[in-house]
Amino acid sequence: MTPAERQTHLLKTAARTAKMITMILDPQELLQRTVDVICDEFKFYYAGVFLLNVTGQYAVLRAGRGESGAAMIAEGHKLLVGGNSMIGSCVQNRQARIALDVGAEAVRFENPHLPNTRSEMALPLIVGDEVIGALTVQSEQEAAFLDDDISALQTMADQLAIAIHNSNLHRRNQDLIRQTERRTRLLEAANVVGREVTSILALDELLPGTVNIICEAYGFYYAGVFLLDDKGDYAVLRAGYGEAGKAMLAEGYRLKVGPGSMIGAAISFGEARIALDVEEERVHFKNPHLPHTRSEMALPLIFGHRVLGAVTVQSVEERAFSQDDITTLLTMAEHLAVAISNAYTLESLKEAHAELLRTKVFEALTTATTEAIHWIGNKTLPISMTVARLREEIAEGKVDLASLGEDLDMIAESADQITQVKEQLIGAVREQRPRPVLLADAIEAAVHQRGLSADLLSMQIDPSAAYAVADSTQLVRALGNLLQNSGEAGAKSVRVVATPSEERGMLRLLIVDDGMGMPAETLEKAWSPFFSTRGHQGLGLPASLHVISQAQGRITLNSEMGKGSKVEIHLPLARVSEDGFSSNGVASVLLVDDNDEWAAAFSALLEGAGVKVTRQTALDGLPAADLVLVDEHCSAVGVDAALAALDQAGLTAKTVVLTAALNPERVTRYLRSGVRDVQPKPYTAAEIAALLQ
């Protein structure tokens, strides 16, 4: 290679190397590639890069060619700046040193790892005014370095210095990014605690959640939350991270408030305590459950002027807490203190509420008991007094038959009222069979059953609120109680309105009367069992409340003296499909019923299934049919009269009595008359199909 060709090659190599090293950001890779490229491209025996240590006292070998380089790095090879080595001298003087024949170079260090070196060059690595290290290049040939080599290699050294500087900057940037990311994560953790503060009011959930977040987001060894006991003497551990936390909670770990521990001191003085090296912190308590703690922070939990407890955060690293950690943990502790204070407030509210509930229950029981005593006294007095008088009359042989008749009536009436109580109580405990119930039909049945005038009633039922989910027998009983109350209050009209409720899946049923209403003090007691202003058993409203509640509904009563009463009932809404069904061989049905809403809906479904339906209330000229259905609550014709007429027409065996409210006495009576069956009124296609079977 001619000198000119060598010069060109060197410059090209220097340029290529410079380009390559500027693209490498990992510092170790950068240094190692540089020494390899120098040796490969320039065919030198050895190259190495030294960088100054933190104090600037030594040049430390950071990368070296081949096994010799690796061995020296492993030994921690370093040279004193200003010492008698070429590198030490080069760094000290900021100048290249060249020993073309090393034997003649006084300052060269005899290196056993590089025995063949005959020429050596040391080039300073300078960025701006700062020397950051030096590059050594060694050859097995004496006088190996030409001026051109020196120039080209110094150019490369300058590039390398800049690249090292860039790499350091890159590393610092990476550290800053990591710090920023950590800060973001910490802020997110603080936010999570902040959010939970507003959503979790149960301390047993909030405190363990908080210690988990602290340890997981910050990567700390341990966190725990202490709360002051009632007397304020001890900080009691309420949540602790991991197995150590579990063990301490199990043993009821607590610390005395005062300077004996970091937690005790933080609570006592109301100030954060931070021990970056716990061995140096006088007040630190050596905890056998947490043997690896090297840094600890105790943050008081303060709300207003009240110290509620403290949080401990511990790390296995010395000086573990950055300013970011401290700032965000202090914020978190402030949030936590608010949450704990809220939880305490909620607990006292709950206690107050429980106390109020106990008082109310006691009052309700007292009212019910008092009313029951009053009621029983009034119902039994006529019996006992009349019986005593009759005994005297019999003993004296002076029995007046007219008086005796009245006495027996009084006994019978009192006994009947007592029996009605039994009926109401049975109703409340009877098993419920919820199903879709046509409201209009249940109301008509209730009116009929209680012997109320149909003229009293006006109904407005929104088609989309026509069916409720309830036990029809119980619903008829509850509605009967309410309508009877209206009747007894002297109502001239009772308006029943059903509409879909604002509450999803519910309907609203209003029963509004223009009766005498009731005063506020009566209204207060209206739901109490045995309370009555009308001399009966006083169980109507409580029984209705029970039935509606069992149907997953609710009921309220408003009343104004002289203006009337309004009952509002919310019941689950039933959706009834109009799917077709098989008539099961039934071709004709005679329906003895009024032309009411149920009869119309029922007839339409039957006709849809191809069944011929004849509905009538006239009892003469009853047509033959495969099946005869009699509505028990038909107002135009009594069920007994209808059954008698059907008997005469020879249709009894084909007759089924339908009722909205099953009653065992009446069912028995109808069956004894020879009818085929007594069935609950069908309200859905599926129930009609079952009936036709």
Partner 1 sequence: MTTVLLVDDERLVLRSLEKTLLRAGFDVLTALDCKSGREVFAQNKGQVDIAILDLNMPGFDGLPKAGAGLDLLVDLKQQQASLPVVILTAYDEVNKARDAVSGGASAFFVKGREQGLVELIQKILGGQG
Q: Which residues bind partner 1 (CB under 8 A)?
A: 370, 373-382, 384-386, 388-389, 392-393, 403, 406-407, 410, 413-414, 519, 522, 533, 535, 561
Closest approach, Cβ 373 to partner 1, in A, equals 5
Of residues 519 and 638, the one with the C-beta less far from partner 1: 519
Of residues 98 and 526, the one with the C-beta less far from partner 1: 526
Which residues on adjacent β-strands are paired with residue 78?
60
Integer Cα distance of 652 and 675 in angstroms: 5
Coil, strand or helix at 582: coil
Distance of CA 402 to the CA centre of its chain: 74
683 residue type, one letter: Y
Closest approach, Cβ 441 to partner 1, in A, equals 35
Residue length, the chain? 693
Could you tell me if 194 and 209 are in contact, meaning their C-beta atoms sit under 8 angstroms apart? no
Nearest Cα residue to 210 out of 200, 320, 306, 179? 200
Could you tell me if 52 and 81 are in contact, meaning their C-beta atoms sit under 8 angstroms apart? yes
Closest approach, Cβ 381 to partner 1, in A, equals 5
Of residues 380 and 584, the one with the C-beta less far from partner 1: 380
Of residues 398 and 504, the one with the C-beta less far from partner 1: 398
Query: At which residue do the structure tokens 């030198």 appear?
Result: 44
Of residues 179 and 378, the one with the C-beta less far from partner 1: 378
Of residues 111 and 533, the one with the C-beta less far from partner 1: 533
Integer Cα distance of 337 and 303 in angstroms: 6
Of residues 104 and 402, the one with the C-beta less far from partner 1: 402
Coil, strand or helix at 497: strand
Q: Within 13 Å, how many C-alpha atoms sit on residue 310's CB side?
A: 29
For 87, the enclosing helix (H) or strand (E) is: helix 86-93
Of residues 533 and 552, the one with the C-beta less far from partner 1: 533
Integer Cα distance of 535 and 374 in angstroms: 11
For 209, the enclosing helix (H) or strand (E) is: helix 203-218
Of residues 352 and 376, the one with the C-beta less far from partner 1: 376
Of residues 519 and 580, the one with the C-beta less far from partner 1: 519
Of residues 373 and 604, the one with the C-beta less far from partner 1: 373
DSSP structure class, residue 626: S
Of residues 28 and 366, the one with the C-beta less far from partner 1: 366
Phi, psi of 175 (to 5 degrees): -60, -40
Closest approach, Cβ 495 to partner 1, in A, equals 25
Nearest Cα residue to 107 out of 116, 119, 97? 97
Nearest Cα residue to 124 out of 170, 165, 78, 91? 91
Integer Cα distance of 31 and 49 in angstroms: 7
Of residues 42 and 375, the one with the C-beta less far from partner 1: 375
Closest approach, Cβ 207 to partner 1, in A, equals 51
For 249, the enclosing helix (H) or strand (E) is: helix 242-250
Closest approach, Cβ 453 to partner 1, in A, equals 24
Integer Cα distance of 637 and 594 in angstroms: 8
Of residues 415 and 609, the one with the C-beta less far from partner 1: 415
Closest approach, Cβ 304 to partner 1, in A, equals 47
Closest approach, Cβ 526 to partner 1, in A, equals 11
Closest approach, Cβ 484 to partner 1, in A, equals 18
Nearest Cα residue to 325 out of 316, 314, 335? 314
Closest approach, Cβ 504 to partner 1, in A, equals 41
Closest approach, Cβ 525 to partner 1, in A, equals 9
CA distances to 245, 258, 310 from 280, in Å: 24, 18, 21
Of residues 338 and 390, the one with the C-beta less far from partner 1: 390
Query: At which residue do the structure tokens 């028995």 appear?
Result: 668
576 residue type, one letter: V
598-633: buried (b, 16+ CB within 10 Å) or exposed (e) per residue?
bbebbbebbeebebebebbeeeeebeebebbbbbbb
CA R_g for the chain: 50
Closest approach, Cβ 415 to partner 1, in A, equals 11
Closest approach, Cβ 213 to partner 1, in A, equals 59
Nearest Cα residue to 319 out of 286, 294, 284? 294
Closest approach, Cβ 522 to partner 1, in A, equals 6
Closest approach, Cβ 518 to partner 1, in A, equals 9
Distance of CA 456 to the CA centre of its chain: 50
Could you tell me if 48 and 79 are in contact, meaning their C-beta atoms sit under 8 angstroms apart? no
Which residues on adjacent β-strands are paired with residue 513?
494
Of residues 403 and 673, the one with the C-beta less far from partner 1: 403
Could you tell me if 237 and 228 are in contact, meaning their C-beta atoms sit under 8 angstroms apart? no
Could you tell me if 248 and 289 are in contact, meaning their C-beta atoms sit under 8 angstroms apart? yes
Closest approach, Cβ 366 to partner 1, in A, equals 11
249-272: buried (b, 16+ CB within 10 Å) or exposed (e) per residue?
beeebbbebeeebbbbbbbbeeeb
